[in-house]
Structure 1
Amino acid sequence: MLTVSGAFAGNAFGADVPRGAKVLGIAIGGSREDAQDALRTGLAAKADQLSAPVTVRVGSQTASVQPQDVGLNIDVDKTVDAAMARARNPIATVFGGGAVPPVVTLDEARLATSLAPAVQKAAAAMTLPGVTFDGTTPKPVYPKAGQALDGAGAAAAVREGWLRDSEIKVPLKDKAPAGTQADVDRMIAEVARPATAAPVTVTTPRGNLTVSPKAVAASLVISSDAQGRLSARVDAAKLRKAMGTELARVETQPRNATIGGGDGTTAQVVASTGGTLVDTAKLANDLLPVLKQTGPRTVPAVIKDVQPATTTGELAELGIKEQISSFTTYFTGGLSNPRSKNIVQIAKEVDGAIVRPGETFSLNGHTGPRGYAEGYHDAPIIMDGKLIPGVGGGASQFTTTIFNASYYAGMQDVEHKPHSYYFSRYPAVIESTIMYPSLDLKFTNTSPYGVLIDTSYTNKSVTVSMWSTKVYDSITTQYDPKRDIVEPEKKVLEDGPTCIATNGSQGFTQDAWRIFRKDGREIKREKFTWRYDAEPQFVCEAKTPPQTAKP
């Protein structure tokens, strides 16, 4: 039987926290308040260790987790309470030594978010059930089990391994979608096939319209939530696009107030007008139950008055009265060229955008995805260091154009990335590429006035102008000489549809200074620096067949 002498017991248990108790090597013996103060002081001295990134392994992948991003911390009060609880257990105190494990806090949901990219790469993803359409023919997407993060297990592993293990391994668990193959087959039989079996008549006060089976297939979305539960809905935006020519017969488009003509100094405001549009959001909701019916199908639609997004009065209130910048870049091939079509498409989408004081404009946020469904075409893009065909090629030229317009308008640069290679059609350093959704162009309007973005194009150029009220007399660029110049090397690629020959270009580093002048003097300058790689000279050559030895 364990016996503890009175002298020892008084020595060990007389205080709230026994002498010799330590947390991460920090002595915390004494009263509860003294222990709390000692632990806080000791943890403050370990701030660098406590804030250091934590390496977490998920299957074959690792992730670097910032403690502050996931709420990873030590709860001082609960840790001291745990030490006091140990003090009331003689056996734990005598045989457990003086080390007290810290009570660690962690936000499980934020940890899962932080680990999501690694989980996506490491885990075999579930195939969620759904239905797609090949023309008007429904095609099943049957579910398959996959793996997912064990959220509770991951949180427990990180709490236990933090400050102890150099790499913390967190578990994955098998996960099967809630929806089954039978659910998919039932959705096809009860919804998808009837939906595209015949057109639907839409009645409006201005005449009847037709939703063709093709338009139904283009707008009917049959998909799953994150757990794999199937549902069907009609996407209002896709419905509007699919019914474009039909809707035009009964609609009048609103027209935003904008800038027209002008001599570059005074804005000529084109007045706004209201419009009347079919309420496609309501139509989409009302259409879904009708699609399940057989035989002739009819659904009523509402035509509503729509105000322009920007009115004439708003332009005046925002101080939009003069052109503050304009920038033009040039392209070849005319407007029938796929690359030119992409440039024109993105220019149309941005035309008329308003950036209010304090707002940040995001090009990706404004246009959304730039794929085939959005009207973009295949054209050369840079991928893995060489030009290949890709949807949306040419968007970077517009990105450079609007970046320079914002640059010379004095907008604050938030995000942009120049090309990896230098292209002579763009100004060095002050140019930008884009890739949805990973690379964006963002700038903030730090002036007290609104900014209207006006775009225009010809068969060989695209122009972005910005209208507002001038804050600066002028904004100019001063270049430092190029340095660290590297000549291009020659690389031979196999000839084929994905091989695009190039002449190559030098690699170099250069600085560009944006200089602001007001009241006749320079008031500030900003430095932009970029390093261009040497673009190889890519040559497309037919593959040489292997030689066969003669007998």
Structure 2
Amino acid sequence: MADEFYQKYGPIERRRQNGDVQQFDATAPLADDLPVRSAAPPKRKRSRLRTFMWGAGITLGLVGLLFGIGLWYLNRTFEGRIYPNVAIQGIDMSQKTPEEAKALLAEQYADLLKRPVGLSFNGQTWEPTADQAGISLSIEQSVDEAYSLGRGGNIINTLQAVSGIWQNGYDIPLAVTVDQAQLSEYLTTATNDLITAPVNANLIVAGNTATMTPAREGRLILIDETAQDILTQLQTLSPAQVVLRTEMVMPTVLDDGVFEAKQTIDAVLQSPLTLIAGDLQWELSTDDLRALIRLDTHTDANGKTKMVASLNDQMIRQRVATFADEIGRGSVNPRVAWDGGALTIVREGRTGLRLDEEASARRIIEQATIGETRTIELVIREVQPDVTAENIHSLGIVEAVGVGKSSYKGSASYRVTNIKAGSRLLDGILIKPGEEFSFNNAVGSIDEANGFVKGYAIVGNRTQEEWGGGICQDSTTLFRAAFHAGLPITERHTHSFRISWYEVYEPYGMDAAIFTGALDFRFVNDTGKWLLLNTYVDDSTATVTYALYGTAPQREVILDGPYVTKEYPKPTEPTYIADPKEPVGVFHQTDTARDGMDIIVYRIIRQDGQVILREPFNTHFKPWPDIYVHNPATPLPPKGCKPTDPCANPATPTPEPQPPQQPEPTPEPQPEPTPGGEIVVPTPNP
């Protein structure tokens, strides 16, 4: 059944029905002449291809052998020599040994190697050697390259190189090598004398005239540009001839920039200047005026700078301050003593004349520089006392606001005298609300007329004799009173080095230095009420106490510190100052070496329990050397030795014996507040 099914319904049957299958008679006999297919395919013939391949291989081998023999022949023939048809910078090097090639190039470029560059400027010439200028030729490298052509490498590259040489030749360039750093160094050194700085036009003041010195241009040598010119010319392999590149530098102040200043100086110095204030009169001679002249430069919006002549503002004010002392500058208000709160007038107030120092200084500066008049009237103002016996108890002076204290124990007599003189001049002063108090204005001139004597003070870079030596004890004590009162400090200066007297009742960093006309101590009365300053000097305890009385603001003042932020060791070598006034053979020691330090003291002000201000007070104490003053004829000890050391030169005269060091004062506690809130201070000495 299955066979019948497949035969009837299979794919063969379907093709039969479609006529796609040819019908054969299975019973018909097979023809005798039907072709019979062989079981294996016929073999291909490769004899021709194989023969060709063998022939080509043999041919290439023979060609390679011939080239190899040719290269061997060339190497053998030109062994140790450069191949023919090779040149360096156009010079034929065929069949030359490397040594011959180098010698030929050295001869060809002998001038370049001997003097590669010539420099000139304004008739001056320089001819550095190649080594000096850092210039060299690549002879060694170029010859090595010429000799290596056609040698080494694989056979194909070698064949290509040899073929190129024989057909076209080969020219190797010769390079110039320049060490630019060496060349720049040579140019800088060789031309240093040609560099000139520009000179500004200037004025020389001598006698009663000002003489102008003209401006002069400066000159710079343009090293980089000159070096580039040399490099460019050396590319031709010929010695370079180069003119130095320079640039003219114009001065800042030209001749026309000093003309107005000369006119001003001539106007100032034409004759002495007379100053008048009421019945008083002063004269400034031409020498005085010349010392007051100040020269500055000013550049306008267009960049043009000119010299400006004027009178030294600070020096004029110092002169005017001396005039004010003669006229009278003290307070016209009465002097008052606290007297336990009773406020006793110890010196009545008075109507006074006051020199308006600011207005007078301006008038002198303006009129003296114009030169139209040689007599100038200073500005005087009349002042009336603000305080009288009738209103003294309404000023609000009811309690101690701030107290300062310091010790002068062990001080020399001159120092005690000056401390007392300053305290006497300050005692009883009234300071109105909002007023800025000036220590220098209140004390006035520090001279014999005000009770001062000469003593030692820090002036410049050493301790030397000066009127009022020790007055800084008063300014320091007042600073402490103002500090603890919480008053705004508007000007304060510190001493150059540590001073033991100022470290008894307060820590270091709580001092204030003054110098009339330069350094002042100032503070502002911000309490809203009047302040009274009373001073107390107690010889029995060697103590100075300054008290400020008034109405204490509702604030708490706290001292925080001191904090040392940096320390400086004292110098080991002494400083010597020549002074012809000293006797020959004597060393007078004026200063003792001290360490230096940077210090910060903070003043913390609290109000209603809140910190409203944390104010830093900075102090810089310089490291201070031993300082000796000597006559210029006195030989100095060798370095590392002091005049008192055994290592000093025996020929050096014996130093002047020094007085024994003053004992350090013994610390004494600050006065404590009484239960009522008032600070108890000692009564003034009679």
Structure exhibiting the larger radius of gyration computed from Cα positions? 2
TM-score, with length taken from structure 2: 0.40
